[in-house]
Chain A
Amino acid sequence: DGGITQSPKYLFRKEGQNVTLSCEQNLNHDAMYWYRQDPGQGLRLIYYSQIVNDFQKGDIAEGYSVSREKKESFPLTVTSAQKNPTAFYLCASSIVRNQPQHFGDGTRLSIL
């Protein structure tokens, strides 16, 4: 089946540690996105990519980094510079930008 796979479902980070969240899609979509969701709040855009080897900062990019070396993959690294990383992270993709986005099931990141 076509879709978006995020892994792991749950992730724990120690203070000062970088962690990488995986997002893979087999929908042949050009555009991919990373969002952060805090309890009782909507989603906020971290980074997006319109095409391979290109990505742009969203509203809350500080403390995060991404890469887009393959069309299918858009990993997100939460660096030690992100002081409040505990949140639910959602990855999405769309055929091109501005078309309806399809979402993965998310990764919940917690600090030990």
Chain B
Amino acid sequence: KQEVTQIPAALSVPEGENLVLNCSFTDSAIYNLQWFRQDPGKGLTSLLLIQSSQREQTSGRLNASLDKSSGRSTLYIAASQPGDSATYLCAVTLGSARQLTFGSGTQLTVLP
């Protein structure tokens, strides 16, 4: 069964820092991987989606990479801002099951 792990569970950084969030998964036969943002008491907003054939995706200050062979993905946030404070979740879609399996998230706090 696919398991998705995100470390650390929580992270605090000062404003302006570049930071990396980590996601690992146990089954490399994924269809795609997504990074989501969740604000307190809210639903999820999709940030980036990487297909299994891709190595990375970029959107503004966000860059997500995918290494299927090692079962890892990273989300890089450049020049962090207090507005980036939220929980970041990664989720993978297995090629066979075609449903999302989520990690438990990293709660990010960017201090002004």
Residues of A within 8 A of B (CB): 4, 6, 40-45, 48, 58, 88, 90, 92, 97-98, 100-106, 108
| Contact between chains at A43 and B102 (CB < 8 Å) | yes
Can you name 9 A-B residue pairings with CB atoms under 8 Å? A41-B104, A43-B91, A43-B100, A44-B102, A58-B99, A92-B43, A100-B34, A102-B46, A104-B43
| Contact between chains at A42 and B91 (CB < 8 Å) | yes
Q: Which residues of B contact A45 (CB under 8 A)?
A: 99-100
| Contact between chains at A98 and B93 (CB < 8 Å) | yes
Bound-state CA distance A45–B32 (Å) is 17
Bound-state CA distance A97–B96 (Å) is 13
Residue of A nearest to B107 (CB): A40
| Contact between chains at A42 and B44 (CB < 8 Å) | no
A24: min CB distance to chain B, Å: 14
Is B76 on the interface with A (CB-CB < 8 A)? no
Residues of B within 8 A of A (CB): 4, 9, 31-32, 34, 41-46, 49, 89, 91, 93, 98-105
Q: Which residues of B contact A92 (CB under 8 A)?
A: 43-44
| Contact between chains at A101 and B43 (CB < 8 Å) | no
Bound-state CA distance A48–B99 (Å) is 9
19 further contact pairs, Cβ within 8 A, besides A42-B105, A45-B100: A4-B43, A6-B43, A40-B9, A40-B104, A41-B105, A42-B91, A42-B102, A42-B103, A43-B89, A43-B100, A97-B98, A98-B31, A98-B93, A100-B46, A101-B44, A102-B46, A103-B45, A105-B41, A105-B42
Asked whether A103 and B43 contact (CB < 8 A) given A42-B4, A58-B99, the answer is yes
